[in-house]
A and B are shown apart, each in its own frame.
Chain A
């Protein structure tokens, strides 16, 4: 009796010690990540929120003062920011649908031919390429006497000087974006296609469906989840566009603000004009937009189920 009692006490002690050990190990393993989270994300986010209510300049800290919602209010009266928001929206509306449709189309095709590996590599290569390299390549292709215009000249069309034209600069960046990211989304679609059971196609074929009908009534509906993922990722990505706009316009967003995006505007306001409070307010507006887009998408997909 006594021996049994001692035994359970020892076991109890050792299991307590082991759970304390485990908790200690847990905290130690998480510590580096947690430190980075607090120092480089949570802290800075809170600080950015704080200074978004201030007139704030890093260089002249004496003149910093609390201005309430003035930065946020001013944003919606600032023609330059509104232009940037408009450009970014246009860019997103142009890129997301085309890129999604093209990715799906290419995935369906590549799924049904031999040599998948080759096509996957060929389509994905632009995605691993630096956006700066891509932008420079396209600036060259879109030169007044560049390859695109030489090609157009074959048909007697005189192409414009794309990146100096307020009309054509943004569309040219859109083409560049679609080209450089479509491969990534095609690969996500290819993975989605593998999950559709063959039986569905067989059953439909027995009912006499074929070709486009199968794609329309089986493939596309079955890929709805994938499409949701692709559109959300693509929306979030397009609203954060910066590199391409910076490179083609030399960091100005020109010509005539035609390539000014929200992040580029934020960059210019924050680090060239040193209006850091204002730039922070801009960042939170962008955050809100991305949040809302994601929630709308969630709501739409959730309702369908």
Chain B
């Protein structure tokens, strides 16, 4: 007897609830897309049929406002931060799992302990440090402090601990050095780890707001979330354009999510991270 057979409640109730919540979950997106396509004077007047679809709001935000620049900034920053994290965290996680060196345990605990401290604690000192370096409002300032994540190092270590011991021995016989073992043997096996790191680092950085709203002070250096926030603050009479901005910010992440859906789910279930 399967678990399904044990439950006797009629199935269609479950489907109704599941579909209802799917509607709740998706409606704000649908409504935003719909609003972005409305003519300005119909934003609030009509729920259903609008007189014509209006793609003008997308043209407006691209041509008349710096959304293209913000999109570029967001992309540059997220790509650099993701690439940096991939290198830094994977190397450290590998060393903590697979190489013996004095102080290894202590160092690893240092990373773990820091993970408990909320990152907002360093807002003031990092701001001051970057100001002293002249890095406020620059790509360096938006990327370099964020190239490492203790949590991702922890994940990488767990992953490399799970690989069989014989791998190194075989590689040693082939005459590979420590770098060679890592690069030729372990890295090709760590695609799931790299996928999870890429997805979550990229997502976190793409959507991040607290740091860029502090560190990007001129319009030209805004990332998309900062840009959208300032745009909506000034032009909230033009909800169709604001919604076009919402879609521009949301769509790239949604596409990444739909393409890598399986890895997202696997990453969340095994690590619990966002």
Contacts and interface: CB of A to CB of B under 8 A. Distances in A.
Interface of A: 19, 21-27, 29-30, 32-34, 36-37, 40-45, 47-48, 51, 58, 106, 109-110, 112-113, 117-134, 136-141, 143, 145-147, 150, 179, 181, 183-184, 187-188, 190-191, 198, 201-202, 204-205, 210-211, 214, 229, 233, 236-237, 240, 242-243, 246-247, 250, 263, 266-267, 270-271, 276, 279-280, 283-284, 286-287, 290-291, 294
B1 interface: yes
Interface bracket on B: 35 or more
B91 A33 contact: yes
A145 B126 CA distance: 42
Given A113-B15, A124-B257, A242-B210, A40 B126 contact: yes
B22 A130 contact: no
B89 interface: yes
Contacts of B236: 139
A136 B274 contact: no
B148 A40 contact: yes
A182 B129 CA distance: 37
B22 A284 contact: no
A118 B228 CA distance: 29
B144 to A, nearest CB: 8
Contacts of A270: 123-124, 127
Contact of A27 (B7, B101, B131): B101
B232 A127 contact: no
Interface of B: 1-4, 6-9, 11, 14-15, 17-18, 21-22, 24-26, 28-29, 31-32, 35, 44, 47, 87-89, 91-92, 94-96, 99-102, 104, 107, 110-111, 114, 116-118, 120-129, 131, 145-148, 150, 153, 177-179, 182, 203, 206-207, 209-210, 213-214, 224-226, 228-229, 232-233, 236, 239, 242-243, 245-246, 249-250, 253-254, 256-258, 261, 264-265, 268-270, 272, 274
Nearest to A210: B8
B122 A40 contact: yes
Contacts of A122: 22, 25-26
Contacts of B14: 109, 112-113
B225 A286 contact: no
Contacts of A36: 88, 145, 147-148
B207 A109 contact: no
Contact of B127 (A106, A141, A229, A271): A271
A110 B4 CA distance: 13
Contacts of A24: 101
B43 to A, nearest CB: 9
28 contacts: A22-B99, A23-B102, A25-B177, A25-B179, A26-B100, A29-B94, A40-B145, A45-B114, A45-B122, A106-B21, A109-B14, A120-B261, A122-B22, A130-B206, A130-B249, A138-B28, A140-B239, A140-B242, A143-B44, A147-B47, A187-B265, A214-B7, A246-B213, A271-B214, A280-B121, A283-B118, A283-B123, A294-B116
A3 B14 CA distance: 79
Nearest to B44: A145
Contact of B25 (A23, A126, A133): A126
Contact of A25 (B6, B99, B257): B99
